[in-house]
Structure 1
Amino acid sequence: MHLTFFGSSLVSSYWNGAATYYRGLIRALHGLGHTVTFCEPDAYDRQQNRDLAEDPEYARVIVYTTEAERDALIEQAFAESDWVIKCSGVGLWDAELEAAVADRAGGDVMTAFLDVDAPATLSRIAEDAADPFRLHIRKYDQIFTYGGGPPVCAEYERWGAKACTPIYNALDPDEHRPVEDVAVEYDILFMGNRLPDREARVEEFFFRAAALCPEHRFLLGGEGWGWKTDMPANVTYLGHVPTSRHNTVNASARLVLNIHRESMVQNGWSPATRMFEAAGAASCQVTDAWEGIEDFFAPGEEILVAASAEEVAQLVRSVDDARARQIGRAGRARALADHTYTQRARQMDAILRAAPVEAA
């Protein structure tokens, strides 16, 4: 089958946390025999901060800059594709793309909406009676989400979705792996961009935890934190970390902290991309508490869970190198067994092939 995606970016992770997810899933879909076109706008300086110098071999990437180019790509997609998939959070002309794909549903080409932030999307339309996406949902042949579990699917079905299936974040074993001979210089690492609905949780779980144990070294990566002038003295700030450096940076810390966005915590069943990246690197992970974590990793054995800054600080003080290695290895084994992008792609592939699609 030929699949066309409209998403934020496949070639750049700059202000684009979904890049790892897109790469892992689309690479695995390509491995199952699909051909893929990925259409992305030239926005937010992503093309000037590419992680992939060359377009990947598993997808044709088309960058568009104008409304005319956007509209031409929509027409091209429906002329050559079996499925056209609009992703959430493209960042430019989202409403126009959502409407264009939904309005063309019902023909020979199947349509899907891939929601990479479903709790936020559902919260948005619940609060805004005039949001046009409310009426688009029932037109799509399939809603995919990369998180949210049963609560998100039930809510999408309440809005009239024909079908809703979570295709969760996962591990790409070829990309996310342990790195040898890297000195462990830090006690705990957090990587994540500064976002409004996560900032308060980062203040609690990272910055306040750092202040509680000033004798330990904290490492911070991600865009936007350079504007913060009151970081504790024991925090080292890296700025944006390209995906090519994630494995090495993970290896430089004894513990890796995951802090989820507020809407994801309230909903549950929303493991971040970083969780599987760190598992692939065999890092000992600490995650903020949220419902459904046990469906992905066993707390206390494959991952550590903290409900406050005090609990993060206690883990920083108490988890020694030997226990960290043990938990990291167990988390990697679980991810390899149950959470690879090949497994996620097979789940999605079964849905794509089950639909009554005529060859394009």
Structure 2
Amino acid sequence: MKLVVLGLSLSSSWGNGHATTFRALLSAFAARGHEVLFLERDVPWYADHRDLPDPEFCRLEYYASLHGLADWRDEIARADAVMVGSYVPEGIAVGAFVQEHAQGTTCYYDIDTPVTLARLERSDCDYLSRELIPGYDTYFSFSGGPSLERLEQEFGSPRARALYCSVDVSRYRPLDVPVRWDLTYLGTYSPDRQPTLDRLLLEPARRRPDLRFAVAGPQYPDGIDWPDNVERIEHLPPARHAEFYCASRFALNVTRADMIAAGWSPSVRIFEAAACATPIISDRWPGIETILRPPSEIILADSASEVIAALDLSAAQIGEAARAAVLEDHSSKRRAEQLEADLLFQIEESTVRKTCHSGEFV
């Protein structure tokens, strides 16, 4: 099939987790024989930090404005399926354009579902509106569990399905590199994640000056008091993620508040670290046991003391068990199979509706 995707970014992983998610999913989807066109809004903050300007698995094009999106009207109209992602600039207008011109099936891919639902409730969501949701044939969600029921019953989605993030296991795998850190965290700064990062990484670092820590990711404010044994890495491109995880005895997972409240919202960092067989220490949220089972595949911690106790463990078997679970259920190949099946179902259902409407079955 031909799939057109309008997403936040494919070309740049700077300050967002969308790019790595789309890269893993769409490369595996294209490997199944499908054609993919990715349309990205050309914005300066990504243009200045492009680490995949020319992907080999799909056609990547840019549009400068909503007016410029009109140049792609025919491509959108001819596609078998069109996907709009969350946080797309002027996403409400983009979604309305797609729903007006797409002749194939349409879907929304929300990589930020709990944040989106919270913003919709506050009426301050600038990339999706309540009115658009019923117009998408399928609402693919980064969150499973109760969020899917809410999307259908409260927001009118005809069909809500979980489409978790995934990992490209050809890129994320155990590497023979020296271990440099005892505990690391990889993620962009977020105000609602910072208290957990303080509690589960910075405080253990203060209590254990004999251990080594690292925090990688952009946009952290200057006022943070980093202990001397915490190394700061401003930006780590995806090509270096696997090496970073493999150089860590443990990786920390920290979840945004809205996603903790919604539950069933695994971060891509969980899958990446697990694919590298790096043991993970995570905060708690409903549904985490459906992704990785504690304590055999992941360690859950609420306090600095629990983190310090975990760091004294020999946990190689936990990392190996997590890797096995991710290879089984959360590889990009598995996720692409799921996307293909869901889209084909929707395309076939749409074809039946159109045929019935034309009177051929009468």
Tell me the TM-score normalised to structure 1 length: 0.91
Shift of 1:21: 1.1
Shift of 1:130: 9.1
The 3 A distance-change label for structure 1 pair 218 and 167 is same
C-alpha distance in 1 between matches for 2:4 and 2:192: 30
- Secondary structure, counterpart of 2:132 in structure 1: helix
Shift of 1:265: 1.0
Q: Of 214, 218, 223, which aligns to 1:223?
A: 218
C-alpha distance in 2 between matches for 1:103 and 1:212: 58
Q: Of 160, 165, 171, which aligns to 1:169?
A: 165
What stretches of structure 2 of length at least 5 have no aligned partner? 352-362
Kept in 1: contact 2:15–2:219 (CA 8 A): no
Deviation per CA, 1:242-266, whole angstroms, max 9, x where unpaired? 0000111111111111111111111
C-alpha distance in 2 between matches for 1:66 and 1:98: 14
C-alpha distance in 2 between matches for 1:104 and 1:308: 52
Residues 227-266 of structure 1 aligned to structure 2 (within 5 Å): 227-266=222-261
Instruction: Give the corresponding residue for 2:196.
Output: 201
C-alpha distance in 1 between matches for 2:273 and 2:55: 23
- Secondary structure, counterpart of 2:83 in structure 1: strand
Kept in 2: contact 1:222–1:239 (CA 8 A): yes
Indicate whether 1:22 and 2:22 are aligned.
yes
C-alpha distance in 2 between matches for 1:277 and 1:35: 26
Residues 1-360 of structure 1 aligned to structure 2 (within 5 Å): 1-52=1-52, 54-73=53-72, 75-90=73-88, 92-104=89-101, 108-128=103-123, 133-146=129-142, 148-158=143-153, 159-180=155-176, 182-225=177-220, 227-316=222-311, 318-319=312-313, 323-355=314-346, 356=348
Instruction: Give the corresponding residue for 2:357.
Output: none
Shift of 1:93: 1.8
C-alpha distance in 1 between matches for 2:125 and 2:222: 35
C-alpha distance in 2 between matches for 1:192 and 1:26: 22
- Paired residues, what number? 347
Q: Which amino acid aligns with 2:212?
A: R
- Secondary structure, counterpart of 1:195 in structure 2: coil
C-alpha distance in 2 between matches for 1:187 and 1:287: 15
C-alpha distance in 2 between matches for 1:215 and 1:44: 42
- Secondary structure, counterpart of 2:194 in structure 1: helix
Kept in 2: contact 1:11–1:19 (CA 8 A): yes
Shift of 1:80: 2.4
Structure 1 stretches of 4+ with a deviation exceeding 3 A read: 102-105, 129-132
Deviation per CA, 1:29-48, whole angstroms, max 9, x where unpaired? 11222110001112252222
The 3 A distance-change label for structure 1 pair 141 and 226 is same
The 3 A distance-change label for structure 1 pair 47 and 183 is same
Kept in 2: contact 1:212–1:310 (CA 8 A): no
Deviation per CA, 1:178-236, whole angstroms, max 9, x where unpaired? 111x2112110001000233223222222223223233211110001262341122211
- Secondary structure, counterpart of 1:120 in structure 2: helix
Q: Which amino acid aligns with 2:251?
A: V
Kept in 2: contact 1:122–1:155 (CA 8 A): no
Please provide the CA RMSD for this pair. Answer: 1.8
Q: Which amino acid aligns with 2:76?
A: F
The 3 A distance-change label for structure 1 pair 178 and 129 is closer
- Secondary structure, counterpart of 1:255 in structure 2: strand
The 3 A distance-change label for structure 1 pair 205 and 81 is same
Q: Which amino acid aligns with 1:348?
A: L
- Secondary structure, counterpart of 1:133 in structure 2: coil
Shift of 1:118: 0.2
User: In percent, how many aligned pairs have the same letter?
Assistant: 35
Q: Which amino acid aligns with 2:48?
A: Q
The 3 A distance-change label for structure 1 pair 338 and 161 is same
Shift of 1:129: 8.4
What stretches of structure 1 of length at least 5 have no aligned partner? none
The 3 A distance-change label for structure 1 pair 130 and 13 is closer
Deviation per CA, 1:53-73, whole angstroms, max 9, x where unpaired? x52221100012233212322
Tell me the TM-score normalised to structure 2 length: 0.91
